[in-house]
Amino acid sequence: MLPKFTTHPGRITVVAPDGTETVQTADTLPDWLKFARGSDGHLVPVVLITRARSRTGCIFRSYGPDGRLVAITASPGTTPVAPPETTSGCF
């Protein structure tokens, strides 16, 4: 189970592979996408997500409010894959 998170600044900018930017409100995204663990282990709000195409899908880079890279996620599709602790079922 994921811990309860602190507050989020409210908006996340998402940059598509073609450079198109969209801004989404944090309320519309799941906690596992709008927060990441920093190098010190503390939760950091994500304010920027960049998507880059890879051979098999996409690579997502998430950045905190201070501009630091806080997470890199690979996905076979065009949306990030939830971490194992947020999914359920047999695989």
Strand partners, 49: 14, 62
For residues 67 and 70, give the distance between their C-alpha atoms in angstroms, rounded to a whole number: 9
pTM of the entire predicted model? 0.76
Are the C-beta atoms of 35 and 45 separated by less than 8 Å? yes
Q: What is the DSSP letter of 17?
A: T
Are the C-beta atoms of 41 and 56 separated by less than 8 Å? no
Q: Does 40 score more than 80 pLDDT?
A: no
Q: What is the mean pLDDT of residues 45-49?
A: 94
Instruction: Give 62's pLDDT tier (boundaries 50, 70, 90).
Output: very high
Q: 46 is written with which tokens?
A: 């994500």
Q: What is the pLDDT of residues 73-82, one digit of tens each?
A: 887 766 666 6
Question: Within 10 Å of residue 4's Cβ, how many Cβ atoms?
Answer: 7
